[in-house]
Amino acid sequence: DKGMAGFKFKLDFLIKLRQRKEEEAMARLAKRLASIRELEKEIAEMTDKKTRLTHELDAKIKTGEITIPLLTLYKEYDLKMVKDIARLNEFLRLSRREEAKERAALTKASVELKIMEKLKEKKKAEFVVDQMYIEQNNLEEMAALAKARRDRENASQYAEG
């Protein structure tokens, strides 16, 4: 339909820009969520390992096969794991805070894109209405001209007759 081909949205470049912004925000959030899953997995594994070592130590104490140097080794390793788990949990806390910011940024980018798309639809609808109005006027004008011509022809026929 040639009427619609005439519609050009002046702000199409802004729509493309906002689409890119939304895609980038999605990619950032996806990356963040993957790293959060990785951290959670690491924390779970380390916590399991710590629990296993504690049970192992308890068993050795019960059976009396523990020496002071071995006990010291276990305690030092246990302390190291406590610190590592605490550090990972701190990373996780910060990552979750970043995730919240990134989710908000994605929401904002999506809303801004929707607003531009809505505006484009509105402008397109207005354009269609304008085109219909122009065509209607053209038709009325053509009809008026045709009537004027007919009237002239009739008038000249009467003049001859």
In angstroms, rounded to a whole number, what is the distance separating the alpha carbons of residues 134 and 155? 31
Nearest to 101 by CA among 30, 29, 34: 29
The pLDDT value recorded for residue 135 is 94
Whole-number percent of the chain with pLDDT over 70: 96
pLDDT band at 9 (very low <50, low <70, confident <90, very high): confident
pTM: 0.71
Indicate the residue type of 17: L
Q: Is 7 helix (H, G, I), strand (E, B) or coil?
A: coil
Residues 6+ apart with CB under 8 A from 19: 113
In tens, the pLDDT along 50-107 reads 999 999 999 999 999 889 999 999 999 999 999 999 999 999 999 999 999 999 999 9
Q: Average pLDDT for residues 34-53, to the nearest whole number?
A: 98
